[in-house]
Amino acid sequence: MITTKQRSKLKSMANTLKPSVTVGKDELTENVLREIETALYHYELVKVASLQSCTLTARDMCNEVCGKLGCEPVLVVGNRFVVYKYSDKENITHIEF
């Protein structure tokens, strides 16, 4: 569980991020979840965007992703959401709090 102060820092970092994963009309398939999981492993902070053709809301998708991957929700705005998960990967710059 991340604190309010940590969430605030992650939100400010997420402002400059471009979406790493885009969800289309097929919504959250296993391939999309695997792509988000891979991005979390490499970067720890991931922004996901959904297309207009997607019927799920960004909040619903964020809740589903967090439930399945064990990550923390950071921000949900419009058709985008940001999630965070500490990575066990070595040789990357981990987010310092």
Q: Is residue 91 part of a domain?
A: no
- Distance of alpha carbon 53 from alpha carbon 51, whole angstroms: 5
For position 97, what pLDDT does the model report?
87
Domain that holds residue 26: 4-84
Give dist(CA 73, CA 6) in Å, integer: 12
| Tally of structural domains, the chain | 1
- What is the bridge-based pairing of β-strands 45-50 and 72-77? unpaired
Rounded to two decimals, the pTM is 0.94
93 falls within a domain: no
Residue 95 lies in a domain: no
User: Is 56 a domain residue?
Assistant: yes
pLDDT tens column, 28-64: 999 999 999 999 999 999 999 999 999 999 999 999 9
Kindly state whether residue 97 falls inside one of the protein's structural domains. no
Residue 74 has which token pair?
A: 């950071």
CATH code assigned at 76: 3.30.110.60
Q: How far apart are CA 44 and CA 95, in angstroms?
A: 8
CB 58 within 8 A of CB 50: yes
- 3-state secondary structure (DSSP) of residue 21: strand
Q: 3-7, 23-27, 40-44, 83-87 — which is least confidently predicted?
A: 23-27
